Amino acid sequence: MRFHGTDAILKPKGPHITSFPNKAGVAIIFALIDEIHRNKQSLSDIDGLIGDGDHGINMNKGFQMCKQRLVADTDDMSGAFRVLAQVLMDHIGGAMGPLYGSFFKAMAKASMKADPIDAGLFADMLTAAEQKVRDIGQCQLGDKTLLDVLAPASDAFKKNLANGGSFADALDAMSAAAEIGREATIDMIAKKGRASRLKERSKGVPDPGATSCCLILNTMARTVKQLLADA
């Protein structure tokens, strides 16, 4: 026999919580929308140095469109990632529409039937997103793209878990690796996209896509940790 409210009473609280409800995960997408909005100018400024200066403005356009749609039909994290992916793929041109569109669609698909979301599932989401970026971008490590943040961050998350880290520990490892990955793009020569036309002259500044990917992963880490603490 089940007693009403027993779950709530017995459920442990605090940072050792290992999962969060898919529905509560909608907060991740709203946090991403805010973060891209806050950084739209600096992301475009970085793109102005080795590209055409539209990166942050374009990303923000897509994320704001997503926000408007989510107000009407917010369901869960997977559904919200799907909406974001669709908007980016349908309405955002340039390299980032298809790349981040596929990134978020992969995250939506990997988590669609999962509830709650635990660290293993989050690892699957990162793996799926990385695979899609590799497929769509035809890029490799060292090409000075968002992959130079995504791949080491995803690896660090999984390695930390494998070594016995908690969900929150692995998220910290992911964020740290993302920052290192972004910094590492400064010395790289762009091999893909618009910046590759500059050859040697693309050196000396971080890659715009790597910079936005670092922001995105850090925001995810921060929000998921908050969700774990609240669960």
Question: Residue 55 CA to chain centroid, in angstroms?
Answer: 16
- Per CB under 6 A, residues contacting ligand ADP are 47, 51-52, 54-55, 58, 94-96, 99, 137-139, 145-147, 192-194, 207-210
Nearer to ligand ADP by Cβ, of 215 and 224: the residue is: 215
Smallest distance, Å, CB 53 to Mg ion? 7
**Which among 217, 215, 23, 16 has a CA at the least distance from the CA of 117?**
23
Contact region with Mg ion (CB under 5 A), list: 17-25, 54-62, 115-123, 160-168: 54-62
Quick one: which H or E segment has residue 142? none
Nearer to ligand ADP by Cβ, of 45 and 115: the residue is: 45
Residues 6 or more apart whose Cβ sits within 8 Å of residue 126 = 150, 153, 154, 157, 158, 174
Number of CB atoms found within 10 A of residue 191's CB: 15
Smallest distance, Å, CB 157 to ligand ADP? 20
Residue 93 within binding range of Mg ion, rule CB under 5 A? no
List the single partner that 193 binds among ligand ADP, Mg ion, none, CB under 5 to 8 Å by kind.
ligand ADP
Binding site for Mg ion (CB under 5 A): 47, 51-52, 54-55
